[in-house]
Amino acid sequence: MGSALTTIGLPVALGIIMFGLGLSLTVGDFARVAKQPRAVIIALLCQLVLLPVVCFGLVLAFRLPPVLAVGMMMLAASPGGTTANLYSHLFRGDIALNISLTAVNSVIAVVTLPVITNFAIAWFRPFDDQLGMQWSKVLEVFAIVLLPVALGMLVRRWKPRFAEGMDKPVRVASVIILAVVIAGAVASNWQLLVDNVAALALITVLFCLISLAVGYVVPRMLHVARPQAVACSFEIGIHNATLAIVIAQTVFGSMELSLPAAVYGVLMFFIAFAFGFLIRGRAASSDDTQEEQAEAVVS
């Protein structure tokens, strides 16, 4: 029952999530990237280059077992999750930029995720019989990530009113299915999760915090406006853990490989929420300081 839930349920849940993402996208979301190249390039460099390097350093520092090390690197290589849009909305980020980043990132991940995963497998050698992610598996990643998004975008183009009406039900359905599937997977692999959660809790919390901080601080240092920096922060900090879990369990057939993403997937919601309040508090205090300085100049 548990294995059927994960082998069938997880890809279905991810497919619905990615289809839902497609329903909210238009070709204009990709074109918008050209209008905000600075924020997009900075965010993508942080996501695709800086974070895998940071994650690699953390994995070496924590001396994780090879399978868990590859699982962490696969998580780092995953694109931003659709939940980033919700957090951006809550904490006054640029949601349009979030949507564009998620769209572009999901396309790029079809190439970068297998490349980073292959590097990790070659470095840590967790599987004796496997050299890496072969082309057939890269095609599986392509099918898992892009086909449902493309289908959603086509539905939006041909039936815009239907897509608008289905947007909320699809989101609700994806959350319910995902919750049921994850609950089933946790129940059937409870002991494996318990045995590894202590080893993974600290590194996943640190990785999430660093991801969020990098996504906010680096764009701000490079003079990106605050709403765009907030969007970058959540896009970079909230990885698509579901995608990493699906690839680990369906493409590689390894529950253990999916553990870092599973632990991260639970903890990131709380960390991202706390981080959102932290940067909102900093923004409020900086606004107060600017007002005081303006008053001082006037007086």
% residues pLDDT > 70 (the chain): 78
Q: Which domains does the chain show, CATH number per domain?
A: 2-298 (1.20.1530.20)
* Residue 73 confidence class, pLDDT cut points 50, 70, 90: very high
Q: What is the phi-psi region of residue 112: left when phi exceeds 0, alpha when psi lies from -120 to 50, beta otherwise? A: alpha
DSSP per-residue string spanning the chain = -HHHIIIIIHHHHHHHHHHHHHHT--HHHHHGGGGSHHHHHHHHHIIIIIHHHHHHHHHHHHT--HHHHHHHHHHHHS-B-THHHHHHHHTT--HHHHHHHHHHHHHHHHHHHHHHHHHHHHHH---TT--S--HHHHHHHHHHHHHHHHHHHHHHHH-HHHHHHHHHHHHHHHHHHHHHHHHHHHHHTHHHHHHHHHHHHHHHHHHHHHHHHHHHHHHHHTT--HHHHHHHHHHHHSB-HHHHHHIIIIIS--TGGGHHHHHHHHHHHHHHHHHHHHHHHHHHHHHHHHHHHHHHHH-
Contacts of 120 (CB under 8 A, 6+ apart): 69, 70, 73, 74
Tens digit of each residue's pLDDT (9 = 90 or more) over 194-218: 777 778 889 999 999 999 999 999 9
Confidence check: pLDDT of 87 > 80: yes
Q: What is the pLDDT of residue 2?
A: 47
Tens digit of each residue's pLDDT (9 = 90 or more) over 225-241: 999 999 999 999 988 88
Tens digit of each residue's pLDDT (9 = 90 or more) over 152-181: 888 888 888 888 888 778 777 766 766 676
The mean pLDDT value for 280-291 works out to 56
Triad 133, 135, 137: Cα angle to 5°: 55
